[in-house]
Amino acid sequence: MMKENLLHSLTALFPRGYIFTDSASLISYEVDAGLDHGRPDGVAFPRTAGDVARLVRWAGEHGVPLIARGAGTGLSGGAVADRGGIIVEFSRMNAVLDIDVYGRSAVVEPGLINLRLDEQVKALGLYFPPDPASQRSSTIGGNVAENSGGPHCFKYGVTTNYIMGMDVVLADGRAVRIGGRALDYPTYDLCGLITGSEGMFAIMTAIFARLVRNPPAIKTMLVVFDSVEQAGVAVSAVIAAGLVPATMEMMDQKIINIVEPFAHANMPLDAGAALIVEVDGYPASLDAQIAEITRIMEAHGGREIRIARDEEERAAIWLARKSAAGAVSRLTPAYYTVDITVPRSYLSQMLGEVNDICDRHGLRVGYMFHAGDGNLHPLILIPDPENPELMQRVHQAGLEIVIACIQKSGSLSGEHGIGIEKRQYMSLMHSASELAAMQDIKQVFDPGNILNPGKVFPVPEAGEATPAQNANGAAGASQAAVDTALVVSENNIFTPDSAAQAARGLAAHSAIGKRVAIRATTSGAASSGSADVICSAAEMRSITTYAPDDLYITVGAGTPLAEIQAFLSKQGKWLPLASPWPDTTIGGLISTNLNAPLRMRYGAIRDLVLCATAALADGRVIRTGRPVVKNVAGYDLTKAFIGARGTLGLLADVTLKIAAPPRARRTLLVPVDDQRRGLLWARSVLPIALVASAIVLSSNANFANGLDSPFVLAYSAEGLPEDVQAELEEVRGALREAGAPAPSEAESPSGTDLWAALLGDASKTLKSRIGVPAKDAAAYVNDQVALLHDSTFLVDMAAGHIFATTAPSDASAAREWIEQLRRPALALEGYAVVIEMPAAWEGAIDRWGYTSSTFDLMHSLKARWDPQKILNVGEFIM
Ligand SMILES: Cc1cc2nc3c(=O)[nH]c(=O)nc-3n(C[C@H](O)[C@H](O)[C@H](O)COP(=O)(O)OP(=O)(O)OC[C@H]3O[C@@H](n4cnc5c(N)ncnc54)[C@H](O)[C@@H]3O)c2cc1C
């Protein structure tokens, strides 16, 4: 219980109506939608980021916990004040601050309800895909803090894939911007780390979200099966055929029997399982998609296939799925929603085990699951929540389910988070090193432990070390085991063949302060720069696991991308990544975070890496993530390594999302005489992009099938042939209207091919990437045209990236060129970085030219994982 005078000092900081401490208010904030309880000492209703900063400074001064809260629909106790403190309630910060139609992004306050955002952007032809079933009430702030998923994640991904930046108040009261309107800032991916951190790193006051085009048409079908196993096989067959439905949601017989009398969706009560499949795209492709899926369903025992004829029928089908929670509430005063993810091929086995567990404990259970991504929600009915013996059985069953899931390489939380509910289970999934690595990041952001303390990490038993002590002790413990045999002599090369050996070797070099250059290979260009030793991933060159049913591949970090693509191509799969250089390794690509234009269709590198194993300089090996798309079991450590340029550790292996290659790939090529008009035309087709895989304007037109115009506008589309054709037809129409010449159509070169040719041109000695907000890219290029005129350049319109290459006479001309490009980019909240230049110019040219208000956080993270500062010294912005 907080002292009266302390509370008084808080209320004195704000006008009336901002802080409530009366017991009626406090009682309503004791719970979220899960089973945990805790009474706060006060509830604050900030209206501005300034209010939040004041609250945080006050809390830091007095050591009071602050628990940010959206709508309180969380199911794991994330917004519950089980240690007292002040709830920071965001219902008065719920505005849409900006919607950028061309740049396809929105800036919103955290208290905005998810559905309100989606409704507003839909009116503009756009779509915010993350759609938790709670979207009518949950907030964007809560969604980001939990990295929420939803029924449409199979096709569209989870919340983190749509967050570009955020304004936050840090634990020391500073208000800073992390990420922002441009993509791929040259910093650690702190935005990716904060997403899913359950309000424990910072308090968000504004969120920059990415949007996509609202698909022009949707069709929904309901299919009945005799068993869940049968339905599961049908789902796998759809995926194996290379189709990507927007959603594949399954309900088992038990839940059908609970839901049907409530929702009246005409599901037969004797059905073993019901599957909702939704496809979206251009109207022309839907019938073909539905026909193909129907054939697959029938071939695998699907029956009573019902295709919604109109919005009313579609709504009835969805009502059944989305009202499961309500329907269960009619039967029982409480229920426990378990949330786990397993690689999809384990779904039916997992289901059998959950049934056995619940039978053994005498519990009634029904299932809903996001079948496409292996995310399973057993709903355990609780007829008497006051019965401690029953509650004990419920919790025991929950624990056994988690253990069974972890044994299948699953995640103990797919989308609901850890919070209080699962904190004691974290060490079942994560090693001590991994937990310590997570705790390191917590310490970096919130050393005083005031932001949502006590969540995520197991609460130590009496006499056990606290998680923070474990984090602080990790480095020392590993240094005690230094293996001096692994120290290599001056300018020598260390080529570990495993993460464990790499970690021991790095710790040995760390102990004697030898600087290590992390390199992908040992060949030609692998210079050590100013380092004493090269540590190369060259021996980690293998395909470790290929899991076609679960759509992932695990490879050694030293494996060339081309080798992975060649392997996958033989299997009828691919990895939607590209590099301009033939010998690029996957570890190198992830560390440099160089994204090709095709990211607009398939996501960026950060969206495709599911998990990784990394060796840290202090001797720890950490496995980040699991081979599943939905995984919110603790912090998203994988993001720390994306674009970190080897400064935080050596990636040993990585697991990536794979896909069936698109059935059609076509590009429209428009000759362009004047870049200004080309940019206008490009802008006019931007809003059309639904299956576009690149919209670029490039000055290497001669590469585009011998066009002799100074520029070429390339619009590539990939996917189902009907979608591709329909989109290119729309694009042709828009170009005609804008007065552009008739385009030629070809399978190649695509926009990504043009990009690769531009950056792969060895005659250009200086190559740079400029990132600006997508809406400003055209204006930036027009303003800099005199400078760009002597270079070759390509504008990735959707990403707001400009890639420019040149061959300056010397380092001073090179410096002048990059500085001139940089200044206006920085003025637009962007950046300009050097991708490649001769080694001799190192030191004469600032490759990064970027400063960030979060440098201190980056330094502090680096200091925790590389305490002697030996890794890739001087090779990143800090
Ligand atoms: C019926 C039902 C269905 C659901 N379906 C889904 C589903 O399909 N998918 C899914 O992923 N989840 C689902 N959930 C869980 C829940 O809705 C999500 O976790 C949601 O994102 C929580 O949002 P909220 O606004 O209610 O956040 P809260 O519950 O209030 O808070 C959740 C977390 O966010 C933090 N937080 C909130 N605002 C901020 C901020 N401004 N800054 C920093 N941290 C902040 C809190 O501290 C807390 O840790 C469901 C819940 C219910 C009750």
User: So what's the pLDDT on residue 522?
Assistant: 65
Q: Let me know the angle formed at the C-alpha of 137 by 131 and 138, rounded to the nearest 5 degrees.
A: 60
Q: What are phi and psi of 273, to 5 degrees?
A: -160, 155
User: So what's the pLDDT on residue 490?
Assistant: 58
Residues 6 or more apart whose CB falls under 8 angstroms from that of 47 comprise 18, 92, 93
pLDDT tier at 745 (50, 70, 90 boundaries)?
A: very high
| DSSP-based three-state secondary structure for 322 | helix
Q: Is 138 in the pocket of ligand 1 (CB under 6 A)?
A: yes
pLDDT tier at 320 (50, 70, 90 boundaries)?
A: confident
Of all atoms in ligand 1, which is nearest to the CA of residue 145?
34
Measure 147 CA to ligand 1 centroid, in angstroms. Answer: 9
CA atoms within 13 A on the CB side of 544: 19
Site to substitute for ligand 1 among 28, 47, 73, most atoms within 8 A of C-beta: 73
Q: Is 370 in the pocket of ligand 1 (CB under 6 A)?
A: no
Nearest protein Cα to ligand 1, atom 5 = 133
pLDDT tier at 743 (50, 70, 90 boundaries)?
A: very high
Q: Is the separation of the CB atoms in 773 and 181 below 8 Å? A: yes
Measure 501 CA to ligand 1 centroid, in angstroms. Answer: 41
Nearest protein Cα to ligand 1, atom 34 = 142
The residue among 78, 248, 226 whose CA lies nearest residue 154 is: 248
User: So what's the pLDDT on residue 480?
Assistant: 47
Q: What are phi and psi of 223, to 5 degrees?
A: -125, 140
User: So what's the pLDDT on residue 41?
Assistant: 97
Token digits for 725? 């054709």
d(CA 757, CA 762): 10
Of all atoms in ligand 1, which is nearest to the CA of residue 143?
21
| pLDDT score of 633 more than 70 | yes
The residue ranking higher by pLDDT, 470 or 822, is: 822
| pLDDT score of 479 more than 60 | no
d(CA 276, CA 537): 44
User: So what's the pLDDT on residue 477?
Assistant: 47
d(CA 452, CA 446): 10
Q: Is 46 in the pocket of ligand 1 (CB under 6 A)?
A: no
Of all atoms in ligand 1, which is nearest to the CA of residue 415?
11
Q: Is 611 in the pocket of ligand 1 (CB under 6 A)?
A: no
User: So what's the pLDDT on residue 1?
Assistant: 66
Q: Is the separation of the CB atoms in 716 and 751 below 8 Å? A: yes
Amino acid at 515: R
Measure 139 CA to ligand 1 centroid, in angstroms. Answer: 7
pLDDT tier at 331 (50, 70, 90 boundaries)?
A: confident
Token digits for 234? 């049908």
* Predicted TM-score of the model (pTM): 0.96
Rg of the chain, C-alpha, whole Å: 27
d(CA 214, CA 124): 9
User: So what's the pLDDT on residue 525?
Assistant: 46
Tell me the CA distances in angstroms from 406 to 62, 343, 429, 539, 612, one per residue in order. 40, 10, 6, 29, 17
Measure 518 CA to ligand 1 centroid, in angstroms. Answer: 39
- Average pLDDT on 321-326 reads 80
DSSP annotation string for 445-463: H-TT--BSTTSSSPPPPTT
d(CA 116, CA 122): 10
Measure 874 CA to ligand 1 centroid, in angstroms. Answer: 40
User: So what's the pLDDT on residue 316?
Assistant: 85
Task: Give pLDDT tens digits for 240-259.
Answer: 899 999 999 999 998 999 88
Site to substitute for ligand 1 among 90, 114, 115, 148, most atoms within 8 A of C-beta: 148
- Average pLDDT on 8-27 reads 95
DSSP annotation string for 802-823: EEEEE--SSHHHHHHHHHHHHH
Nearest protein Cα to ligand 1, atom 16 = 74
Of all atoms in ligand 1, which is nearest to the CA of residue 75?
15
d(CA 281, CA 240): 19
| DSSP-based three-state secondary structure for 324 | helix
Q: Is 31 in the pocket of ligand 1 (CB under 6 A)?
A: no
DSSP annotation string for 189-226: -HHHHHTTSTTSS-EEEEEEEE-EEPPSEEEEEEEEES
Percent of the chain surpassing pLDDT 70? 96
- Average pLDDT on 345-366 reads 92
pLDDT tier at 489 (50, 70, 90 boundaries)?
A: low
Measure 2 CA to ligand 1 centroid, in angstroms. Answer: 27
| H or E stretch at 533 | strand 533-536
Q: Is 75 in the pocket of ligand 1 (CB under 6 A)?
A: yes
Q: Is 85 in the pocket of ligand 1 (CB under 6 A)?
A: no
- Average pLDDT on 423-427 reads 96
- Average pLDDT on 451-464 reads 88
Site to substitute for ligand 1 among 138, 338, 456, most atoms within 8 A of C-beta: 138
Strand order, beta sheet including 621-624: 543-547, 552-556, 650-657, 609-615, 621-624
Of all atoms in ligand 1, which is nearest to the CA of residue 67?
47
Residues 6 or more apart whose CB falls under 8 angstroms from that of 706 comprise none
Amino acid at 34: G
Instruction: Find out whether the peptide bond into 548 is cis, omega within 30 degrees of 0.
Output: no
- 413-427, 474-488, 826-840: which has the minimum mean pLDDT? 474-488
Measure 110 CA to ligand 1 centroid, in angstroms. Answer: 11
User: So what's the pLDDT on residue 469?
Assistant: 62
Task: Give pLDDT tens digits for 571-610.
Answer: 999 999 999 999 999 999 999 999 999 999 999 999 999 9
Measure 544 CA to ligand 1 centroid, in angstroms. Answer: 36
Nearest protein Cα to ligand 1, atom 53 = 73
CA atoms within 13 A on the CB side of 777: 32
Token digits for 79? 């917004």
The residue among 49, 146, 163 whose CA lies nearest residue 105 is: 163
Taking residue 254's Cβ as centre, other Cβ atoms within 10 Å add up to 17
User: So what's the pLDDT on residue 527?
Assistant: 65
The residue ranking higher by pLDDT, 447 or 468, is: 447
pLDDT tier at 798 (50, 70, 90 boundaries)?
A: very high
Nearest protein Cα to ligand 1, atom 21 = 143
Q: Is 281 in the pocket of ligand 1 (CB under 6 A)?
A: no
Q: Is 277 in the pocket of ligand 1 (CB under 6 A)?
A: no
d(CA 275, CA 217): 20
d(CA 682, CA 782): 13
Percent of the chain surpassing pLDDT 90? 83
Q: Is 415 in the pocket of ligand 1 (CB under 6 A)?
A: yes
Measure 113 CA to ligand 1 centroid, in angstroms. Answer: 11
Token digits for 615? 């060796």
User: So what's the pLDDT on residue 433?
Assistant: 93
Site to substitute for ligand 1 among 146, 160, 418, most atoms within 8 A of C-beta: 146
Q: Is 195 in the pocket of ligand 1 (CB under 6 A)?
A: no
CA atoms within 13 A on the CB side of 260: 15
pLDDT tier at 262 (50, 70, 90 boundaries)?
A: confident
Site to substitute for ligand 1 among 108, 134, 156, 456, most atoms within 8 A of C-beta: 134
Q: Is 145 in the pocket of ligand 1 (CB under 6 A)?
A: yes
User: So what's the pLDDT on residue 376?
Assistant: 92
Of all atoms in ligand 1, which is nearest to the CA of residue 150?
8
Nearest protein Cα to ligand 1, atom 28 = 72
Nearest protein Cα to ligand 1, atom 44 = 199
Q: Is 33 in the pocket of ligand 1 (CB under 6 A)?
A: yes
Measure 199 CA to ligand 1 centroid, in angstroms. Answer: 11
Task: Give pLDDT tens digits for 188-229.
Answer: 999 999 999 999 999 999 999 999 999 999 999 999 999 988
Task: Give pLDDT tens digits for 44-63.
Answer: 999 999 999 999 999 999 99
Tell me the CA distances in angstroms from 167 to 41, 102, 204, 321, 716, one per residue in order. 27, 22, 6, 35, 34
Measure 166 CA to ligand 1 centroid, in angstroms. Answer: 17
Nearest protein Cα to ligand 1, atom 14 = 134
Measure 846 CA to ligand 1 centroid, in angstroms. Answer: 42
Q: Is 863 in the pocket of ligand 1 (CB under 6 A)?
A: no
Q: Is 712 in the pocket of ligand 1 (CB under 6 A)?
A: no
Q: Is 773 in the pocket of ligand 1 (CB under 6 A)?
A: no
pLDDT tier at 488 (50, 70, 90 boundaries)?
A: confident
Q: Is 110 in the pocket of ligand 1 (CB under 6 A)?
A: yes
Measure 135 CA to ligand 1 centroid, in angstroms. Answer: 9
Measure 142 CA to ligand 1 centroid, in angstroms. Answer: 4
User: So what's the pLDDT on residue 321?
Assistant: 84
Nearest protein Cα to ligand 1, atom 11 = 148
Q: Is 146 in the pocket of ligand 1 (CB under 6 A)?
A: yes
Q: Is 32 in the pocket of ligand 1 (CB under 6 A)?
A: yes
Measure 143 CA to ligand 1 centroid, in angstroms. Answer: 5
Q: Is 150 in the pocket of ligand 1 (CB under 6 A)?
A: yes
Measure 88 CA to ligand 1 centroid, in angstroms. Answer: 14
